[in-house]
Amino acid sequence: MSYFSSFVERASPSGNFNGTPPDHLPAENGLHIWRAAVIMPFFTFAFVALRFYTRTYLLRTRKYTIDDYIVMLSMLVCIAHAVLMAIATYNGMGLHAWQYDEELNSRYYLWIGITSEFYVLGLMGFKSALLLLYVQLFGVYAKFRLACYTTLFFCMGYLFCNLTTEFLGCHPIKKKWEPDLPGHCINSIATATFYGACNMASDLVIAILPLTMIWKLQVATKLQKVGLSLVLSSGFAAWAVAVARWGIATYDLVGTEDRTWWAGVSFTLSILEINTGLICACVATLSPLWKLAYAQVKDWTGWTGPCSSKEATWPSFVRKPPYSHSSEETRRPSGPYPNRAVGGHGLPAGRESRVLAYNGSTLTSHYEDEYGLLDASGWHPHGIRDDGSQRSTEGV
C-alpha cells in the first residue's frame, strides 16, 4: 500500500510548468522505459532461438513455413521497437508535462509516432503467428478454421488502420509533432480508445480459441487437458498486459493533466506486450524440447514411473523408437489423396499435421502433429489402437 501511495505521489506532484527539462536523460519514467527496452528483447530472443533449435535440430525440419518467417520478422521488429523506445527516452518520453520546453515537446511527439508504428507491427506479428499455429493444429475442423481466419482478418484490418492513421491522422502530417501549425487532426482520444479496445478484445479471442478444441479432445484425464490449455492459451498473458496498458492509456487520455508521465507507464507496458506475445507464440512449439529435457532428467535421476520406457517419454521425432504397429500404410490416410486431411482440406506445406476426426462433441487423432502437442492422451503413434486397428473417421 505504501508503494502504491508513493507511486501516486510521483504521478501527481505539485509541478511548476516552467518548461525546464532535467539535466540528465532519461529521467522519471523514461528510466523504466529504457530498462524494459534493454532487458525484454533478450528474454524474447531466447524463446525464439529455442523455437528454431527445436524446429531445426530436434524435428529436423528442412523447410520453414509462414509462421516461422513471421516469428523471425517479429523478433526483428521487437528489437527495432526496443531500440527506438530507448532512444525516445532521450527525447522526453516519460517526463512530467511541466518538464517540457517547445523543442523537447516536438521531439517527444515525433518519437511517439515512430515507435508506435513498430509497436503495431509487433502486434501484427505475434497475433498472426498464434492464429496460424492454431490452424495447423485444428484447422481440419471447418468452423474452427473459419473462426481463426476471421480473427486474423479482423486483427490485420484494425492494425493496418492504426498504422495508417498514426501519421496520416493529421493534415499536414507535420502537425502531429508541431501542433501550432495550421491544419487539423483526427480525434486522437477516440481513435486510441477504439484501437486499444480492439487490441484487448482480439487478444482475448486468440487466447480462448484453442480451448474450444482442447476440451473436445479425447485425452486421458482433465489434468492433461489443463496442461494443453496452459500451453496453447498462454496468450492470456499478452491479454493481461494489453488490459493493463489499455486501462493506463485510457486514464492518461481522459483522467489526468500529466499525460506525458502516465504515457511513460503505457509505453513500458507496450514493450512488455509485444515481447510477451511473441514469447507466447514460441512456447507452444517447444513441446519436443520439454519432452527431451524430461527424458534426460529421468535418465539422470533413475526415476521410474507409470511410463518408464524411453519410448513413452522420448519424442518419436527425436529418437525413432521401433513401434510394432507402425508402417507406411498406417501412417498415411487411405484413398486417392493421401496427403489431404479429412474433409478434403490440404495439410500445411512442410508439416505432418495430425488429422483430427470430429464427431460433434469430441476430437480423435490419427497422425502426429509436428510438435507433439496432441500426444497427451497416451495414444500409440500413428493412430493405432491397442488391438492394432486404426481409429474410425466416421462422423467427420
241 belongs to a structural domain: yes
Task: Output the CA–CA distances (angstroms, integers) from residue 256 to 7, 12, 121, in the order listed.
Answer: 14, 9, 29
394 belongs to a structural domain: no
Number of domains in the chain: 1
Regarding beta strands 356-358 and 170-171, do their DSSP bridges make them parallel or antiparallel, or are they unpaired? unpaired
Return the H-helix or E-strand segment holding 337: none
pTM greater than 0.85: no
CATH number, domain of 148, equals: 1.20.1070
338 has pLDDT over 50: no
378 belongs to a structural domain: no
Q: Are 228 and 234 in contact (CB under 8 A)?
A: no
Tell me the CA end-to-end span of the chain in Å, nearest whole number.
56
Task: Output the CA–CA distances (angstroms, integers) from residue 98 to 111, 169, 258, in the order listed.
Answer: 18, 26, 8
What is the residue-averaged pLDDT of the chain? 75
Q: Give the residue with greater pLDDT, 254 vs 6.
A: 254
Of 100, 102, 120, the residue nearest 273 (C-alpha): 120
149 has pLDDT over 80: yes
Domain region containing 252: 24-214+228-288
Mean pLDDT of the region 248-268: 83
Q: Are 70 and 128 in contact (CB under 8 A)?
A: yes
Of 369, 361, 368, 367, the residue nearest 396 (C-alpha): 361
| 173-227: pLDDT as tens digits | 888 888 888 888 888 888 888 999 999 999 999 999 988 888 877 655 677 777 7
Q: Cα-flanking dihedrals φ and ψ of residue 221, to 5°?
A: -135, 165
388 has pLDDT over 70: no
State the cell numbers at 365.
487423432
Return the H-helix or E-strand segment holding 278: helix 259-283
Distance CA 238, CA 216 (A): 25
Of 350, 355, 340, the residue nearest 391 (C-alpha): 355
154 has pLDDT over 80: yes
68 belongs to a structural domain: yes
Task: Output the CA–CA distances (angstroms, integers) from residue 167 to 13, 173, 192, 384, in the order listed.
Answer: 32, 6, 13, 57
341 belongs to a structural domain: no
Residue written as grid cell 492422451: 377
331 belongs to a structural domain: no
Residue written as grid cell 520478422: 73
180 belongs to a structural domain: yes
19 belongs to a structural domain: no
Task: Output the CA–CA distances (angstroms, integers) from residue 396 to 225, 348, 356, in the order listed.
Answer: 22, 19, 9
- Residue-level pLDDT at 380: 34
Mean pLDDT of the region 61-66: 78
- 222: amino acid identity, one letter: K
Task: Output the CA–CA distances (angstroms, integers) from residue 215 to 36, 174, 218, 222, 260, in the order listed.
Answer: 37, 52, 8, 9, 45
- Across 11-25, 239-253, 299-313, which has the greatest mean pLDDT? 239-253
